[in-house]
Structure 1
Amino acid sequence: MKYMLKYGTMLLVLALIASGCREEPNYSEIPHIEFDRVEQYTYTNNKIISDTLIIAIDFQDGDGNLGLNRVGLDGTQSGPDFEPPFNSGSLYFNNFFAKLQIKRGNTYVDSFVNFDGRFPRLSSSDSPETLEGEIRYTIDSFSSDAFPPGDTVRFEIFIYDRDLNKSNVVYTDDVVIYQGQGR
């Protein structure tokens, strides 16, 4: 028992020391994304069928400068996240780009509809830090008065960081409009 207590304590101390020496991952400063999943929720309101889609992507970023505030501290679109090049009307106003593609036969046709938007800052610090995690982006604009039920669609996805580095491009799985079961 005496040896078990002595060596058990030493092993615990060594395990704590080893876990404290874990190296941070070394990711590129250009964001990298991977498609994870699409969650689909279908509902009916006033005889109009609607879909809400939640696109989940995994990300890695070496300097952690992902995200733009949706409103400034004063509740308006003011502050550094709304000044050039992030001002309204600029290519970089949004940081999440979701281009809708409709499946026709075995090919995908780009739609005239994009579901671009902003996801919020993922770090409260402006200091460079390695980040990885998941971004969940909600699209709730699908209704049967705009898209025919049964269409198969997918999204072309990419993001920008605040240094205007564009991530790689990924594609979602196919989604059959208005067929969701609420996974």
Structure 2
Amino acid sequence: MKSVIQYGFLLILGAGLVTGCSNPPEYPVEPSISFDNVYFKAGDNSLIPDTLFVSVNFKDGDGDLGLDDSYLYEPYNALWGYTKQDGSWITYADRNTPPYDTLPNYEFPYSCYNYLIDESDTIYVQQNLNHYNIFVDFYVRKNGQYSYYDWLLAFPPECGESYYGRFPILNRDGNNNTSLKERPLEGKLTYRMVGARIKSIFKNDTLRLDVQIQDRALHKSNTVESFEFVLKDITIN
């Protein structure tokens, strides 16, 4: 539901190479993160939507963090499509023919996860999480227990969008151009999540965020938890 959620994007604060000293630190090639902060800015109207910010500190041994528009093909493609023996796409219409009669029906929630409507047909697909490199999951506390809040399925029968996203290549040379040279990297990332109704959805709910990042070699970091919070308690002007 694009009127409710927009994909977040990343602000880079203090990201830096750590090669200036004679003995640069040795970090594992798998990224590691630690939680830094979370804060909220309420929107004034439809032109200035609500915004939730979460920041993490990161370290990576070979600096392969970030994706740009050149990383849109396998293994970074957004969706996986599947073909039949004749090379054509498996579509919703194929549900009438074995062995494709076990495909899910085109209805909520499968319409959110498993089908792509193009100009000519409805194609069976699966999501590829390797398209993203930052993953933010929301949890809401009810009756003392935290439950996962699935943005994709939160507005039936419409499909929402998750706050999984992409941050740009962080490894930069002296001219601030992207660099693919392997070297240790550390800094802080602040991820901005924009939504037209974040405040009206959660009101006085107690929330928690889980955050994870991934490098271009598909190494996943550890997952960190935010502190629990209510939006009014972390609101900034």
TM-score range, shorter chain: 0.7 to 0.9
1:45 pairs with 2:48: no
CA RMSD in angstroms comes to 2.4
- Tell me: CA distance 1:144–1:35, structure 2 relative to 1, closer, same or farther (3 Å): closer
Instruction: Give deviations 1:37-95, integer Å, cap 9, x for gaps.
Output: 0121123326xx953111110000000000111xx3xxxxxx3x111010122220010
Return the alpha-carbon distance in structure 2 between the equivalents of residues 97 and 181 of structure 1: 22
8 A Cα contact 1:51 1:177, kept in partner: no
Return the alpha-carbon distance in structure 2 between the equivalents of residues 21 and 168 of structure 1: 27
Q: Look up the SS of the partner of 1:44 in the other structure.
A: coil
Return the alpha-carbon distance in structure 1 between the equivalents of residues 198 and 49 of structure 2: 6
Q: Name the residue aligned to 2:164.
A: 116
Q: Name the residue aligned to 1:75.
A: none
Instruction: Give deviations 1:9-36, integer Å, cap 9, x for gaps.
Output: xxxxxxxxxxx86310110000000000
Which protein is richer in strand relative to its size? 1
1:102 pairs with 2:140: yes
1:32 pairs with 2:22: no
Q: Name the residue aligned to 1:88.
A: 78
Q: Which stretch of structure 1 is more off in the superposition, 120-129 or 54-63?
A: 120-129
Structure 2: gaps of 5 or more residues: 1-19, 80-127, 152-161, 172-177
Query: Aligned residues: percent identity?
Result: 33
Larger radius of gyration: 1
Deviation at 1:172, TM superposition (A): 1.2
Structure 1: gaps of 5 or more residues: 1-19, 73-78
8 A Cα contact 2:53 2:192, kept in partner: yes
TM value normalised by structure 1: 0.76
**Aligned partner of 1:130: which letter?**
P
- Tell me: CA distance 1:146–1:85, structure 2 relative to 1, closer, same or farther (3 Å): farther
Instruction: Give deviations 1:116-153, integer Å, cap 9, x for gaps.
Output: 10011101211211000011100111515861411121
1:59 pairs with 2:49: no
Q: Name the residue aligned to 1:149.
A: 203
TM value normalised by structure 2: 0.59
How many residues are matched?
154
Q: Which of structures 1 and 2 has the larger relative contact order (alpha carbons within 8 angstroms, sep 6+)?
A: 2
8 A Cα contact 2:42 2:199, kept in partner: no
